[in-house]
Amino acid sequence: MPEVTPGMLVVFAIVAAALVLFVTEPLPIDISALGVLVALIVLEPWTHVDPATGVSGFSSAATLTVLAMFVLSEGIRQSGLINLVGAAVADRFGDSQFKQLLAVLGISGGTAGLINNTPVVAIMIPMVNTIAKRTGISPSKLLMPVSFIAMLGGTLTLIGTSTNILASDVSARLIDHPFSMFEFTSLGVLVLITGAVYLATIGRYLLPERVAVDDELIAEFDMAEYLTEVVVRPESPLVGKTIDQVLQETDLDVDIVQLVRGDQVFTEPLARKEVRPDDVFVLRTDRESLLELLDAEGLDLAPDAEVTEEVLTAEAEAIEPETDQSLVEVVVAPGASLVGETLETLNFRNRYDATVLAIRRGGEVIHARMDERRLRGGDTLLIQATEDTIRRFGADRNFVLARELTRPDFRTERIPVAVGIILGVVALAALDVLPIMVCALGGVVAMVATGCVKPGEIYEAVDWSVIVLLAGLIPLGVAMERTGGAEWLASLVVVGASDLAPVVILGAFYLFTALITNVISNNASVVLMIPVAVDTAEAIGAEPFSFVLAVTFAASTALMTPIGYQTNLMVYGPGGYRFTDFLRVGAPLQAILTVVTTLGIVTIWGV
């Protein structure tokens, strides 16, 4: 065993602090990664990370390539290609639940090999909901498989996930062996087929039916007890006040969803509407708050106080077609700028011209004190809004719309061009004509020059939290190497597993990486585990590249928790899943993939 040095202890302390921050998330993980970077530089005498090395992650080929891939993926998304394919599949296989499952698995898994899997899943969520309504299958039966297979599809090529690109960069630095474009495609196909077969057979029976497809949204979100109609009495103290004043002056948990005045129906924006006698309010509130309102504010229950989905949508349609109201589910995207904010601090009603009726967080539906709840990635908001507002939600990258939306602005005429640019990037990189970073950046220029992506869309397309996370974590791997921390951990593994065969140690690295990836970032897993895996392989006389691949593939299988990967969070709310649903469905697949991937690596590359 190498001697433990003060530098090792400092780096281990930074790693431990980073892991705690990643798991508990008191701050967004990209900000935590930035804190790690600063700590490494400040503690340079022990970490051996100087300022230039500390910020080198921002100029890393891996970081720039990942940034470029976000823009290339945006070009495909804006073309509407995946939507067109999905619509064709829904039309062709709409009569068979099993065929629909196979179809969504094929679209998600195959597409995720060439573009980022996050936009793929964002497109698939509304598509799955449409398919669910046609076939009568619960969307809970399809959404988790879509997320899982998109993850596994990312193992097909170098550009399938940011994890692969980062792992290639680390592998090049440690063993001078970067990944080529299709270097591990054979193993990726094996993994993808294994996952698809499992999800289409065993997995489909383990998946719950959390969301009933035939339920109206009012019933699905348990809104019956929280929506009612009241009439303003002539002597009410509310008369003469604006809706904004009414809401600001009350301490009760209440929202005014609609204002009905004679044959007119008013919805957002309501703030400046003045209350008049005999106005009818559609309220979102609980029973206790309602009783207090009736007593104190001069209100009476309307003769027919039951509020249905038709009340919230059809009435406005009949009276003012240009302001038709709809109910729709909107998912807060992981990494969205509004994560950590509340509806109150966002001034959500006025900012978006929409009323939030309920929040679904996994299997929990939240009705009370919603304005005070901090939003999380994956939260599903039940909103009432006009079609114009809903279209704005569909175009806002902070949200994922859980229903299909007609997009006349899709650049369908650019489909051949966008696909050609992606294929050109892949071909040039695969033939080693140019480095993948140069090919990807060139592809960005081509996407903008040909009109597939507008200049202003470039910066919106990039998930900057991922970029900052990569840049912050890359120097942590360097510190592990320079201080000897990776070598010490590898020695610990070798001593503890001295009686085990190399193939068993390889499988153990896969399994351990997969497990920690379920609670921390997949990119963090790669940065922390690859240096240890390489040193372990060299110490036992095994093939280092095989160990690099084991860690890389394991980091793409966060199958046991909704927080392990952002696509899991994206389907968490729309599927109505509980935390344990991921464990029940994902754990058996995780175990199967541990065996399949380990044996696949041994067969193809040796150990």
Phi, psi of 231 (to 5 degrees): -110, 140
Does 314 score more than 70 pLDDT?
no
pLDDT tens digits for range 547-582: 999 999 999 888 998 887 888 988 888 888 888 899
- Are β-strands 364-366 and 355-361 bridged in parallel, bridged antiparallel, or unpaired? antiparallel
Catalogue the long-range contacts made by 31-34 (C-beta closer than 8 Å, 24 or more residues apart).
Answer: 31/468, 32/472, 33/468, 33/469, 33/471, 33/472, 33/473, 33/524, 34/468, 34/472
Residues 6+ apart with CB under 8 A from 455: 448
Whose tokens are 């507002």? That residue is 389
Of the pLDDT bands very low, low, confident and very high (cuts 50, 70, 90), residue 511 is very high
Q: Are 142 and 106 in contact (CB under 8 A)?
A: no
Q: Are 385 and 325 in contact (CB under 8 A)?
A: yes
Amino acid 215: pLDDT: 58
The C-alpha atoms of residue 474 and residue 55 are separated, in whole angstroms, by 9
Cβ density class 394-415: b for 16+ within 10 Å, e for less = bebbebbbbbbeeeeebbeebb
- What are the structure tokens assigned to 65, written together? 């390539």
Report the candidate in 55, 41, 63, 111 with the shortest Cα–Cα distance to residue 466. Answer: 63
Residues of the chain with pLDDT > 70: what percent? 92
The C-alpha atoms of residue 268 and residue 105 are separated, in whole angstroms, by 39
β-pair partners for 227: 284
Q: How far is CA 366 from CA 25, 87, 225, 455, in A?
A: 21, 33, 13, 39
Amino acid 341: pLDDT: 87
Amino acid 316: pLDDT: 45
Average pLDDT over residues 383-398: 82
Q: Are 180 and 430 in contact (CB under 8 A)?
A: yes
CA dihedral 544→547→551→553, nearest 10 degrees, is 110
Amino acid 111: pLDDT: 85
Amino acid 1: pLDDT: 66
The C-alpha atoms of residue 447 and residue 449 are separated, in whole angstroms, by 6
Q: Are 571 and 144 in contact (CB under 8 A)?
A: yes
Amino acid 178: pLDDT: 92
Amino acid 404: pLDDT: 66
Does 515 score more than 60 pLDDT?
yes
Amino acid 165: pLDDT: 92
Q: Are 47 and 40 in contact (CB under 8 A)?
A: yes
Helix 544-554, helix 185-200: angle, nearest 10: 40
Amino acid 549: pLDDT: 96
Average pLDDT over residues 234-252: 80
For residues 47 and 406, the model is more confident at: 47
Amino acid 216: pLDDT: 66
DSSP 558: -
Which amino acid does the sequence have at 48? H
DSSP 156: S
Amino acid 282: pLDDT: 81
Greatest mean pLDDT among 111-120, 316-325, 451-460 lies in: 451-460
For residues 542 and 344, the model is more confident at: 542
Percent helix / strand / coil, the chain, rounded to 5: 60, 10, 30
Of the pLDDT bands very low, low, confident and very high (cuts 50, 70, 90), residue 601 is very high
Does 413 score more than 80 pLDDT?
yes
Amino acid 39: pLDDT: 94
β-pair partners for 326: 385
Tell me the pLDDT of the chain averaged across its residues: 84
Amino acid 318: pLDDT: 40
Which of 1-10, 123-132, 311-320 shows the lowest per-residue confidence on average (mean pLDDT)?
311-320
Across 406-466, where does the E strand assignment appear?
A: none
β-pair partners for 355: 384
Amino acid 546: pLDDT: 95
* Number of helices and strands in the chain (H, E): 29, 10
Does 310 score more than 60 pLDDT?
no
Average pLDDT over residues 5-24: 89
Which of 305-319, 342-356, 487-501 shows the lowest per-residue confidence on average (mean pLDDT)?
305-319
Of the pLDDT bands very low, low, confident and very high (cuts 50, 70, 90), residue 68 is very high
For residues 520 and 171, the model is more confident at: 171
Does 224 score more than 90 pLDDT?
no
- What are the structure tokens assigned to 193, written together? 């087929």
The C-alpha atoms of residue 546 and residue 459 are separated, in whole angstroms, by 36
Q: How many CB atoms lie within 10 A of CB 433?
A: 10
pLDDT tens digits for range 244-264: 887 777 777 777 877 888 777
Which amino acid does the sequence have at 207? L
For residues 255 and 213, the model is more confident at: 255
Amino acid 315: pLDDT: 46
Does 119 score more than 50 pLDDT?
yes
Amino acid 195: pLDDT: 94
> What domains lie within the chain, and their CATH numbers?
217-307 (3.30.70.1450), 325-401 (3.30.70.1450)
Amino acid 411: pLDDT: 84
Amino acid 408: pLDDT: 54
Q: How far is CA 42 from CA 9, 32, 46, 476, 486, in A?
A: 15, 15, 9, 13, 21
